[in-house]
Amino acid sequence: MKKQIFSLLILAISTLGFGQEIEKGTIKSEKLDEVIVNAVRVKEDTPVTHSNLTKKDISKRNLGQDIPVLMNYLPSVITSSDAGAGVGYTYMRVRGSDASRINVTINGIPYNDAESQGTFWVNMSDFASSTESLQLQRGVGTSTNGSGAFGASLNILTDKISEKSNAEISNSFGSYGTRKHTVKYSTGKINNHVEFAGRLSNIHSDGYIDRAFSDLKSYFLQGSYSDDNTIIKALVFGGKEKTYQAWYGIDAKQLKENRRQNPYTYDNETDNYQQDHYQLHWTQKYNKYWSTNVGLNYTKGKGYYEQFKDKEEAKNFKNLITDGSDVIVRRWLDNDFYVMNFTANYKKGGLEVIGGTSFTNYTGDHFGEVIWGSDLASNTKIRDRYYFNDAVKTENSAFIKTSFHILPKLMGYVDLQGRFINYKTKGVNSNQSNLDVNKDFNFFNPKAGLTYKFDNFNSAYLSYARANREPNRDDFKNGTDQHETLNDFELGYRYNSENIKINANAYYMGYENQLVLTGEINDVGSPIRKNSGKSYRAGIEIDAFFNINNKLIIQPNFSYNHHKNVDFRTEIDGKIENLGNTAISFSPNVIAGNIITYIPTENLQISFLSKYVGEQHMSNLENRINGEAWGIPYSDLLEDYFTSDLNVTYEIKPKKIFKYIVLSGLVNNIFNKEYVDRGYFGTYVSKGKTVGYSGYYPQATRNFLIGLTLKF
Question: Burial level of 414, CB count in 10 A (0-12/13-18/19+)?
Answer: middle
The H or E element spanning position 35 is helix 35-38
User: Is the distance from CB of 570 to CB of 579 less than 8 angstroms?
Assistant: yes
Model confidence at 552: pLDDT above 90: yes
Q: What is the pLDDT of residues 208-233, one digit of tens each?
A: 999 999 999 999 999 999 998 999 99
- Quote the pLDDT of residue 31: 66
pLDDT digits (tens, 9 = 90+) for 411-447: 999 999 999 999 999 999 888 889 999 999 999 999 9
Residue 2 confidence (pLDDT)? 52
**Confidence grade of residue 37 (pLDDT, cut at 50, 70, 90):** confident
Residue among 233, 160, 235, 161 at smallest CA distance from 192: 161
Angle formed at CA 660 by CA 654 and CA 662, multiple of 5 degrees: 115
Q: How far is CA 636 from the centre of its chain?
A: 25
Our separate counts of H helices and E strands in the chain read 6, 40
CB 156 within 8 A of CB 263: no
The answer to whether residue 77 scores a pLDDT higher than 70 is yes
Residue (of 89, 110, 98) closest to 40 by Cα position: 110
Element (H, E) at 3: helix 2-14
Task: Label the pairing between strands 102-106 and 152-158.
Answer: parallel
- In the DSSP assignment, the letter for residue 135 is E
pLDDT at 29: 38
Give pLDDT, residue 6: 47
pLDDT at 231: 94
Query: What is the mean predicted confidence (pLDDT) over 357-376?
Result: 92
pLDDT confidence of residue 655: 84
In sequence order, what are the residues at sequence separation of 6 or more whose Cβ sits closer than 8 angstroms to the Cβ of residue 265? none
Decide if 314 contacts 322 (C-beta within 8 A): no
31-35, 78-82, 322-326, 379-383 — which one is most confidently predicted on average? 78-82
Encode pLDDT of 491-545 as tens digits. Answer: 999 999 999 999 999 999 999 999 999 989 887 788 888 888 899 999 999 999 9
> Phi and psi of 121, rounded to 5°?
-65, -20
- Residue 491's Cβ-count burial label (10 Å; 0-12, 13-18, 19+) is middle
pLDDT of residue 15: 40
Is 681 exposed, middle or buried (CB count within 10 Å of its CB: 0-12, 13-18, 19+)? Answer: buried
> Which pLDDT score is estimated for 630?
67
pLDDT higher than 60, residue 9: no
pLDDT digits 0-9 by tens, 616-645: 999 999 888 877 766 677 789 999 999 999
pLDDT band at 22 (very low <50, low <70, confident <90, very high): very low
Q: What is the pLDDT of residue 695?
A: 92
| Lowest mean per-residue pLDDT among 56-65, 74-83, 541-550 | 56-65
Say how far apart CA 370 and CA 42 lie, in whole Å.
49
User: How confident is the model over 437-478, as pLDDT tens digits?
Assistant: 999 999 999 999 999 999 999 999 999 999 999 999 999 998
pLDDT digits (tens, 9 = 90+) for 567-619: 998 888 888 889 999 999 999 999 999 999 999 999 999 999 999 999 999 99
pLDDT of 13 reads 42
CATH code, domain carrying 241: 2.40.170.20
Q: Which of the pair, 237 or 37, is modelled with greater confidence?
A: 237
Report the C-alpha gap between 541 and 401 in whole angstroms. Answer: 26
Digit-coded pLDDT (tens) for 675-695: 999 999 988 888 888 888 899
User: Within 13 Å, how many C-alpha atoms sit on residue 264's CB side?
Assistant: 21
* 17, 59, 272, 494, 610 from 593: Cα distances, Å: 45, 19, 35, 19, 5
Q: What is the pLDDT of residue 492?
A: 97
- Burial profile 63-89: b = 16 or more Cβ within 10 angstroms, e = fewer: bbbbbbbbbbbbbbbbbbbbbbbbbbb
Higher pLDDT, 197 or 376: 197
Of 574 and 162, the structure prediction assigns the larger pLDDT to 162
* Residues 320-342 pLDDT 10s: 777 778 889 999 999 999 999 99
pLDDT surpassing 60 at residue 30: no
The pLDDT value recorded for residue 298 is: 98
Q: Can you tell me the distance from the alpha carbon of 299 to that of 301, in angstroms, rounded to the nearest whole number? A: 7
Give the whole-angstrom CA distance, residue 509 versus residue 150: 9
Write down the pLDDT at residue 553: 96
Residue 673's domain comprises: 2-711
Annotate 497-534 with b (16+ C-beta within 10 A) or e (fewer).
eeeebbbbbbbebbbbbbbbbbbbbeeebbbbbbbbee
- pTM, whole model, 2 decimals? 0.92
Amino acid in the structure at residue 61? R
Q: What is the pLDDT of residue 331?
A: 94
Q: Are 709 and 169 in contact (CB under 8 A)?
A: yes
Average pLDDT, the chain: 91
- What is the pLDDT confidence band of residue 28, given thresholds at 50, 70 and 90? very low
Task: Determine the pLDDT at residue 18.
Answer: 38
pLDDT of 14 strictly over 50:
no
**Domain count for the chain:** 1
pLDDT tens digits, one per residue of 164-198: 999 999 999 999 999 999 999 999 999 999 999 99
pLDDT for 7 equals: 47
Contact 708, 661 (CB under 8 A): yes
Give the DSSP H or E segment for 303: strand 290-309
